Each structure stands twice: as structure tokens, then as C-alpha cells.
């Protein structure tokens, strides 16, 4: 019975991946990705050019920080207001590594920049703690914003993304990227290639680089970007980028291997230009099979209950 249920779920999940035009150069079957879940959408028309397991709910790691940025900016909190990093911020990220010193200070706008371009977890935690009402109020605003954007399969529990309980889908995240790209601060901060932050109390400097190599080395025309990684989430990347003169929303979740999202971005670009979607390593294919099988088995078990 379970095997039959899994087969049915597999058919249901595969159908959306083939929703794009099957004729001509842009046959979605020709596009091979190392990411388990993905969406490519025309930002202007809203046309979905490609989707793969777009409604599979998955941990999203530091992609969370895009919503963190929107909540901060929606609240119109002063970006030149000083934020002090505290031991509570360290606790909020389970004492995960950060080069920022406890009790040092930085303007909110610069803290937001570090959270977006370098995925600095302590920065994201401090942004949540320094919100009116603290982190609980901040997370409530995150979830309310998700509902307002129509992100029906999205849930947030923290501002950094270090919890695997922050979950969403590729389809929902396409909505997030479209909304985030309308904030000039997010487009500016998330596409900063390199940056030197000047802290005070005590005074010291730290150099940061963008976690997206396509931005860091300015290989693509990227208007908005965010990477993410957790063991449970795999490698993730969302972007708004101009490809062959067209603005695209690109979402890639749970990619196998550190550089796989960049490889997938290249395959998407090549597929749009020529219809040639390239190939992926056998290890990546096996990784996807395991992830999809686990997900479908979980769905089948839940339906039986």
C-alpha cells in the first residue's frame, strides 16, 4: 500500500515540473538541475518558465534573512540607529561562530547589509532582538508578511534561518524574491560584492564578501540575491537576475554540493538561450532520489494516518 501511495505522490509532484511548454527549445525535460526543488519565472509577466517540485515544503536556511530584511524595512526603524550585539544574540544563534564581538556596535543599516550580503547570523539575530517587542514580535511579523504575500506553505521561527523549522517552497520563495526586489535597500545590500564594517566599542574593522560568487565576481547582472545552507536544507540560492535582457526570478533549493547552485544557474541560463540544459553528476542525481523518496514516503505515511 505504501509503495502505491508513493507512486501516486510521485506522479502528482512530477506533473508541475512539466507545466512549462514542452515544445521547441524550452522543453523543461531538457533542463537538468542538481537542486531538488526549483522555479524560474519571468519577473515582468509572472510566467513560470520552469518548475521542479515547486510545492515541496523544505527548510530554507539563511534565505530566511530576506524576510528578516523586509520586516525591518517595513517597520521603518532608523537605519542609522546604533545596535549593540549582546550575549542574548549569541544565545539566539546557539553560539554559532561569528567574528562580531559581543558588546560592539554598528548602525542598523550596516547590520542589515551584513545579514544579506554575507549571511552573518549574529547580525540577523540582533535585528530581531532590537525590534519593538523583541524576537517574538519580530517572528510574528515575519509570518504575517508571508501570509500577506500569499506564501501559504511558509513558516518562520527565527530571524537568522539557523533553525530547520524555517520552511517554505520554491513557489512561495518566488513571491518573496519578487517582493524583496522592490526594496532599494535589499537590492543594494544583497548585491554588495565586498564590504568593510567599522564597529565601535571597541573600534575594529571586519572585511566581508558576498556569499554568492555570481555577485562577488560580478559574473551576472543580479538585482537581488541570497544564499542559504543547513545540513537539512542543502545549498540554496534565490536571485532576481537579468538573463538575455529578461528579468528572471530564480529559486533553487536543496542543491547537492557547495558550488551546485552556481552550476544550476549556468544550466538555466544555457537552457534559456539554446535549449541545452546540460547534465549533472550521478552523485547529485542519487542525492535527489533519496530526498524525494524520503519526502514522498513521509507524505504517504501522513495520509495513511
Report the distance separating Cα 235 and Cα 259, nearest Å: 8
- Active-site residue list: 62, 65, 119
Report the distance separating Cα 276 and Cα 268, nearest Å: 9
Q: How far apart are the two ends of the chain, measured CA to CA in Å?
A: 13
Cell 548602525: give the residue: 107
In three state form, how does the secondary structure of 132-176 look?
CCHHHHHHHHHHHHHHHCCCCCCECCCCCCCCCCCEECHHHHHHH
Report the distance separating Cα 140 and Cα 154, nearest Å: 13
Report the distance separating Cα 22 and Cα 20, nearest Å: 6
Cell of 42: 519571468
Find all residues with CB under 8 Å of 13, minimum gap 6, and list them: 53, 55, 56, 292, 296
Helix, strand, coil tally for the chain in percent (to 5): 45, 25, 35
Helix axes 108-117, 121-129, angle to 10 degrees: 140
Cell of 27: 522543453
- For residues 193 and 215, the answer to whether their CB atoms sit within 8 Å is yes
Amino acid at each position: 500500500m505504501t509503495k502505491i501511495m508513493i507512486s501516486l505522490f510521485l506522479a502528482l509532484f512530477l506533473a508541475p515540473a512539466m507545466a512549462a511548454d514542452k515544445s521547441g527549445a524550452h522543453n523543461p525535460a531538457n533542463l537538468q538541475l542538481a537542486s531538488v526543488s526549483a522555479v524560474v519565472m519571468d519577473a515582468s509577466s509572472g510566467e513560470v518558465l520552469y518548475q521542479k517540485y515547486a510545492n515541496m515544503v523544505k527548510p530554507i536556511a539563511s534565505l530566511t534573512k530576506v524576510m528578516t530584511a523586509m520586516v525591518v524595512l517595513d517597520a521603518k526603524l532608523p537605519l542609522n540607529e546604533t545596535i549593540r550585539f549582546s550575549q542574548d544574540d549569541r544565545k539566539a544563534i546557539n553560539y554559532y561562530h561569528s567574528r562580531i564581538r559581543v558588546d560592539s556596535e554598528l548602525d542598523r543599516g550596516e547590520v542589515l547589509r551584513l545579514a544579506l550580503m554575507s549571511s552573518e547570523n549574529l547580525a540577523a539575530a540582533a535585528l530581531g532582538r532590537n525590534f519593538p517587542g523583541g524576537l517574538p514580535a519580530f517572528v510574528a511579523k515575519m509570518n504575517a508578511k508571508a501570509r500577506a504575500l500569499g506564501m501559504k506553505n511558509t513558516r518562520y521561527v527565527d530571524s537568522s534561518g539557523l533553525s530547520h523549522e524555517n520552511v517554505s517552497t520554491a513557489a512561495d520563495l518566488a513571491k518573496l524574491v519578487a517582493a524583496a526586489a522592490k526594496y532599494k535597500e535589499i537590492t543594494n545590500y544583497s548585491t554588495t560584492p565586498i564590504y568593510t564594517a567599522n564597529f565601535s566599542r571597541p573600534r575594529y574593522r571586519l572585511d566581508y564578501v558576498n556569499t554568492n560568487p555570481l555577485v562577488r565576481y560580478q559574473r551576472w547582472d543580479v538585482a537581488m540575491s541570497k544564499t542559504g545552507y543547513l545540513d537539512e536544507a542543502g545549498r540554496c540560492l534565490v536571485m532576481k537576475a537579468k538573463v538575455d535582457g529578461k528579468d528572471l526570478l530564480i529559486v533553487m533549493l536543496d542543491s547537492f554540493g557547495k558550488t551546485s547552485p552556481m552550476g544550476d544557474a549556468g544550466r538555466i541560463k544555457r537552457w534559456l538561450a539554446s535549449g541545452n540544459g546540460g547534465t549533472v553528476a550521478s552523485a547529485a542525481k542519487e542525492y535527489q532520489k533519496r530526498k524525494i523518496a524520503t519526502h514522498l514516503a513521509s507524505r504517504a505515511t501522513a495520509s495513511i494516518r
